[in-house]
Amino acid sequence: MDIQRFCAMMERIAPPALAMEGDRIGLLIGTDHAKIRKVLVALDLTTDVADEAIQGGYDLVLTHHPIFWDPVTQILPDRYETAAAYRLIRHGIGMYAAHTNLDAAQGGVNDALCDALRLCDCRPLPPENLGRIGTLVSPMRFSDFTAFCEQKLGTRARIVGDPNQTVHSVAVIGGSGGGDVETVHAAGCDAFVTGEMKHSQALEAAFLGLCCCVLGHYETEILVLKPLISRLQREENDVQYDLTRSGKAPLPCPEGGRTHE
């Protein structure tokens, strides 16, 4: 398919209107390749992912996280902000990002997180509708729910709240959701699952009595990539979509037990 057709397909899956204001989404690097035949899918565009795309003969890299958050005045091979993009551009490989629009989209990041945690009756978390609210099949102690989350996501948790508290209603925001502590509490949820939370946000959650299970930015978002590839493959079977082999968590989960904020 050509790049315009690919972009149109991605916009059906993750409509740009769902993105938060100012988000860097869509085709961020153009491609020299007339036809898109191979797409490498990753959470982040790192130099390792760029090298994998070059060596594998890919036409395009599809990521969740965008690049160039801050204004770029130089594209240099030895600067973190531009090194990976520099390599793609030199080889004519494009890059497309679906970020907060994929968080909010049906079947996107937060729906994948709900599926992994087996939440039922899931609905958007207002007002931005990026997150989701769901319920556990049966209420359980927060400590047991935390262990369940760790097992399902293959990581270790940092937690806020009483381990013995009973939880039933759960809000999820993959990635950096700590800023929504008050929103989750106002929605009447017993627990909040997210990837990142600042110290001050954890203090706020503790004050509000909201149980929080913080599982890692990477770990709460990587779940979406395989379902996304499956959907893309169903849409266009003449394109090969591959999950990166070089993408990895920049902050791998520590050894040992979970920690309490």
- DSSP class per residue in 82-136: HHHHHHHHHTT-EEEE--HHHHHSTTSHHHHHHHHTT-EEEEE-TTT--SEEEEE
Proportion of the chain above pLDDT 90, given as a percent: 92
Query: Predicted confidence band at 11 (pLDDT cuts at 50, 70, 90)?
Result: very high
Question: How many residues comprise the chain?
Answer: 261
Query: Predicted confidence band at 239 (pLDDT cuts at 50, 70, 90)?
Result: very high
Q: With CA atoms as reference, report the closest residue to 48 among 6, 80, 94, 92.
A: 80
CB 20 within 8 A of CB 66: no
CA distance 99 to 20: 9
CB 175 within 8 A of CB 219: no
Q: How far is CA 11 from CA 5, 15, 81, 97, 207, in A?
A: 10, 5, 26, 11, 40
The two structure tokens encoding residue 233: 């493959």
CA distance 65 to 249: 13
Query: Predicted confidence band at 261 (pLDDT cuts at 50, 70, 90)?
Result: very low
pLDDT the model gives residue 255? 60
Query: Predicted confidence band at 236 (pLDDT cuts at 50, 70, 90)?
Result: confident
Q: With CA atoms as reference, report the closest residue to 242 among 58, 27, 109, 50.
A: 58
- Residue 115 in this model has a pLDDT that exceeds 70: yes
Comparing 261 with 204, the larger pLDDT belongs to: 204
* pLDDT tens-place string over residues 28-87: 999 999 899 999 999 999 999 999 999 999 999 999 999 998 889 999 999 999 999 999
pLDDT the model gives residue 258? 56
pLDDT the model gives residue 254? 67
Q: Could you tell me the pTM of the whole model? A: 0.95
Element (H, E) at 148: helix 142-153
Proportion of the chain above pLDDT 70, given as a percent: 97
